[in-house]
Structure 1
Amino acid sequence: MSVDLNVALSERARQVLPGGHLSPSRKLGQPYAFVRAEGAYLYDANGQRYTDYHCGFGAHVLGHGIASIRDRVFEVSQRIDLIGAGIIDLEVEAAEALVRLIPCAEQVAFCNSGSEATYHALRLARAVTGAQRIIKFQGGYHGWHDYVAMNGQSAAEKLDDYDPMSDGILFDAARHTVILPYNDADAVEHYLKANPGQVAAIIVEPIAHNMGAVAATREFLQALRLLSSEHGVILIFDEVITGFRHALGGYQALIGVTPDLATFGKAASSGYPVGFVAGRRDLLERVGRSGERGVFMGGTFNGTPSTLAAVLATIDALSQQGVYERLFALGDYLRSQLDGIIERLGIEAQSAGFGSVWLLYFFSGPYRQYRDLLANDDELDLALRRRLIEQRQIFQPLQLKRLYLSASHTREIVDDTLGLIEDNLRSLRR
């Protein structure tokens, strides 16, 4: 009898990794151990191929194992490694490129993940304003730290309450975070007027991809911009998902609203560990100071040469003519075909997404904020995802979670998946 190498590796993992994986969000339901990735595909320890719609939590806009990224990183690794003193040429080149691309960016400060970037941006906002409170929105996710790890996909009874995402969060830190409904500028205005001088920052995903794909209206973002300026609050766009995936300049470059600070990660380096805060010079210069009025943003691996090489190579690749146009066209095609499946089967659902981000919501009717998504048929959502995973389609088995396309996906690949989606939905409907 042949040995199932996925099971064997998973058994070994359970002995040395907590829960047998690096985080609960990586569990796929049964043992899967991947040993190779290329283009739109993953390959497991048994040699089976999977179509990847998870794309490393969205990091892979181009696809896996892109030669131009890999070659640039290898080239740089031949001449320089971690220095940790002075500056290196790649830091300057990458920062100059990002300042050219991102509307809010006058300066850039590098770190290693999106969570680090939001942590540093919020600390900076508190230092600059002298205020302690921050406003985030129900359903949004801005990282693992105690400032913001609360009120993500909350149960209905927790919408108007403190809803931490983890045990061990320090309530004294979390209590300064105010949760308001997304796309509700009136609620923001009311809170700011009722609490003058108390709010340091508003942090917002300009498209709330952590609850699928709920887009902020232009009017909402414009109102946040105006209210932040009027009340001396720092407006932070969390572009960890939208940045580089929808445009090199982030979603702010598409919507025409410029924040004071913006945080980036994931897709900016095609899978290498990166985060950065971009924004106004007068704010970020505080990070460059030490001692009094300085805002500490240390990190041994901030600006690692391999990561910066990947950032520059990713910018080059995504700057090629037609890349975003093809991605958006494929996303539009996928969503239109999903709508056709929904109509043929007569199920209560709707396609959702923007550009290369997509998913199905299993309810009908409009949605503007997290409360609207409580109508989702979570049981059907999860059942479909689990069946597709069993058929070697990589979806996160969590309701309302967004899915991704990459530049390595083709219409033929998508059509194969659409066929599986239709067959499974027909079966589940029965």
Structure 2
Amino acid sequence: MASNNELIASRAEAVIPGGLLSPSRRLGSPIAFARADGPYLYDADGTRYTDYHCAFGANVLGHRNPAISRAIARVGESLDLVGAGVLELEVEVAELLVKAIPCADQVAFCSSGSEATYHALRLARAYTGRKQIIKFQGGYHGWHDYVAMNGQSSRQMIDAFDPMSDGILYDAARYTKILPYNDATAVEEYIRANPGEVAAVIIEPIAHNMGAVVAQNQFLRDLRRITSENGVILIFDEVITGFRHALGGYQSIVGITPDLATFGKAATSGYPIGLVAGRRDIMERVGRTGEGAVFMGGTFNGTPSSMAAVKATVQELSKPGVYDRLFDFGSYLRKQIDEIIARHGIRAQTAGFGSVWLVYFFEGEFKEYADLLRNDNELDMRFRRALITGRQIFQPLQLKRLYLSLSHDQTVLDDTLELIDATMADLARSAAA
């Protein structure tokens, strides 16, 4: 007899393309989730899983955080979608964000991180009057044609146009130049060789879309200098780093201020949001009509439920010790895993920052995507599949990052570490056989 998971998955395949809302949601076996609470997910058959996926990192507070739930319930008593005029709640949230984010003189809201990066690039092109943008190999900035290329490329495709999807319009994508991460010389040489052509440099200040490759501080300082000297807009894509590592994003940690920054995911701890923050002289173009205006419309921009979730999330993350706890648990988990790796003699290492973690299955330093091509993808996938079988949820794709939330406590982590220890032991035994 089929399980509830299998029955729901079968129904999904009939009416949803591929049976999932995105191929990146595939877990390797049919799992239909029915309930979420704190660090746990429960499937349609009542099985409990520990969640290290955290909705691609959005759930920084944990599932169904009471403060978020209360805030959304309260706003629902007086407001639903209006779509005209301005709401005091929108103003309150914008004021909180302007105070928290170093680059933010003003903020504009949308509904997803991909929308935010799309709008930021459009703003940069409008402000500079230029067409080209620079992104980095291994980075992901959303689904749109300007940037949906050269993510986890093969070695042969690193220096080639490597679109992430069929149907991408090359006439749009050809204005995007791909360069190696942490290489300021390559950026400076390209901009100087193409004077007056580059509108923006967009970068994840921690490249979490290839695990956790941290931008060297000097690299970011050089980017700030190079872009300023050449009239190029520097955009920090903080859709992952923002709110998860600090309220003000990674820019507030490293002390380097971009011209524009994009946020999403953890800003609401689980509700739809995207936003662009930046300098007033750039952002004010969104508020204009006529010549020089940049259109940034959207029926669901500033939805009251999402605004209430942002406000409550900021309030929760502003409490004393919150980020210390996230960072401490991340450090604890990585340290314990490194000890397990050493004990079993596996060629691997942990990586991460704050509450983001993963295991790379190679040894040695890494500072750009090409370094990650040393990863033993077979071992990586065996590790991930074993943990999913052991009821730990995250993406079964090599090099993909994992997350913690504030609801993950010592007991949760230690239970996972026992499974990781047993899994590494199995990998070591099979390698020796």
**TM-score, normalised via structure 2 length:** 0.99
The alpha carbon displacement at 1:258 in A equals 0.1
The alpha carbon displacement at 1:98 in A equals 0.0
Which residue is equivalent to 2:104? 105
Which residue is equivalent to 1:421? 420
The alpha carbon displacement at 1:186 in A equals 0.2
The alpha carbon displacement at 1:311 in A equals 0.2
Partner Cα separation in structure 1 for residue 385 and residue 241 of structure 2: 26
List runs of 5+ in structure 2 lacking aligned partners.
none
% same residue:
68
The alpha carbon displacement at 1:422 in A equals 1.3
Question: Which runs of 4 or more aligned residues in structure 1 lie more than 3 Å from their structure 2 counterparts after TM superposition?
Answer: none
The alpha carbon displacement at 1:405 in A equals 0.4
Which residue is equivalent to 1:228? 227
Partner Cα separation in structure 2 for residue 75 and residue 138 of structure 1: 44
Which residue is equivalent to 2:411? 412
Please give the secondary structure, in 1, of the residue aligned with 2:50: strand
How far does the alpha carbon of each residue in 1:250-293 deviate from its partner, in whole angstroms, 9 at most, with x for none? 00000000000000000000111000000000000001011211
Please give the secondary structure, in 2, of the residue aligned with 1:409: coil
For the 8 Å contact 2:128–2:199, the answer to whether it is kept is yes
Partner Cα separation in structure 2 for residue 425 and residue 380 of structure 1: 10
Which residue is equivalent to 1:184? 183
How far does the alpha carbon of each residue in 1:48-87 deviate from its partner, in whole angstroms, 9 at most, with x for none? 0000000000001110000110010010011011111110
Partner Cα separation in structure 2 for residue 90 and residue 151 of structure 1: 39
Q: Aligned runs of 1:26-425 on 2, under 5 Å?
A: 26-425=25-424
Residue identity opposite 1:337 in structure 2: Q
How far does the alpha carbon of each residue in 1:19-55 deviate from its partner, in whole angstroms, 9 at most, with x for none? 0000000000010000100000000000000000000
Please give the secondary structure, in 2, of the residue aligned with 1:316: helix
Q: CA RMSD in A?
A: 0.6
Please give the secondary structure, in 1, of the residue aligned with 2:373: helix
Please give the secondary structure, in 2, of the residue aligned with 1:55: coil
Residue identity opposite 2:364 in structure 1: G
Which residue is equivalent to 1:19? 18
Residue identity opposite 1:344 in structure 2: R
Please give the secondary structure, in 1, of the residue aligned with 2:61: coil
The alpha carbon displacement at 1:330 in A equals 0.4
The alpha carbon displacement at 1:429 in A equals 2.1
For the 8 Å contact 2:345–2:428, the answer to whether it is kept is no
**TM-score, normalised via structure 1 length:** 0.99
Partner Cα separation in structure 2 for residue 181 and residue 338 of structure 1: 29
List runs of 5+ in structure 1 lacking aligned partners.
none
Please give the secondary structure, in 2, of the residue aligned with 1:69: helix
How far does the alpha carbon of each residue in 1:209-240 deviate from its partner, in whole angstroms, 9 at most, with x for none? 00000000110000000001000000000000
**Residues paired across the two proteins, number:** 429
Partner Cα separation in structure 1 for residue 37 and residue 323 of structure 2: 20
Residue identity opposite 2:74 in structure 1: E
Partner Cα separation in structure 1 for residue 154 and residue 417 of structure 2: 31
Residue identity opposite 1:64 in structure 2: H
How far does the alpha carbon of each residue in 1:320-339 deviate from its partner, in whole angstroms, 9 at most, with x for none? 11111011000000010011
Partner Cα separation in structure 2 for residue 391 and residue 343 of structure 1: 22
Please give the secondary structure, in 2, of the residue aligned with 1:35: strand
Partner Cα separation in structure 1 for residue 89 and residue 118 of structure 2: 24
The alpha carbon displacement at 1:391 in A equals 1.1
Partner Cα separation in structure 2 for residue 71 and residue 10 of structure 1: 32
Partner Cα separation in structure 1 for residue 121 and residue 197 of structure 2: 14
The alpha carbon displacement at 1:192 in A equals 0.6
How far does the alpha carbon of each residue in 1:352-404 deviate from its partner, in whole angstroms, 9 at most, with x for none? 00000000010000000000000000000001101111111002100000000
Partner Cα separation in structure 2 for residue 48 and residue 84 of structure 1: 41
Partner Cα separation in structure 2 for residue 85 and residue 27 of structure 1: 39
Partner Cα separation in structure 1 for residue 119 and residue 76 of structure 2: 28
